[in-house]
Amino acid sequence: MQAELQKKNKEMEKQGIKNREQLRNQILTKRREDAMKVQHDKKELTKQLLKEQEKDLRLKQLKKEKIRKMEEEAKAKRDAEMKAKEEEIKRYYREKALKEAEEAKKAEKLVKALEKKVFNHMSMHILIHFHLQTHPTGT
């Protein structure tokens, strides 16, 4: 009976060791599965974070490109306005120079006409004077 009891205790002890080993294996397996799940979740979160960062970066790039384009358009508009203003100023001074040239030509014509008139008038006086000296009687 004692041998049976010892045999039974040994079997129970073996079964206990076996049960504890199974429990330990189950715990280790559960821990591995949990660790793998945590790693998987971490990878997924990292992927989502990277996607969000890429999205933010694309949005920032689009915004930056939009601002750059607006600045270029504003600069082109300013340049066009300045060029138009410069052309207007050039046209104004060109027209002014033409008017001044025309006025100078008119003034020169007037001066020549006046000189001619004065010359004719003086020539007439000289002729009269000469005629009076050469013909004192008035004939």
Distance CA 95, CA 88 (A): 10
Please name the residues in contact with 132: beta carbons below 8 A apart, sequence gap of 6 or more: 138
Residue-wise pLDDT tens for the chain (139 aa)?
Answer: 788 888 888 888 999 999 999 999 999 999 999 999 999 999 999 999 999 999 999 999 999 999 999 999 999 999 999 999 999 999 999 999 999 999 999 999 999 988 888 878 777 778 787 777 887 775 5
Does the predicted model carry a pTM greater than 0.75?
Answer: no
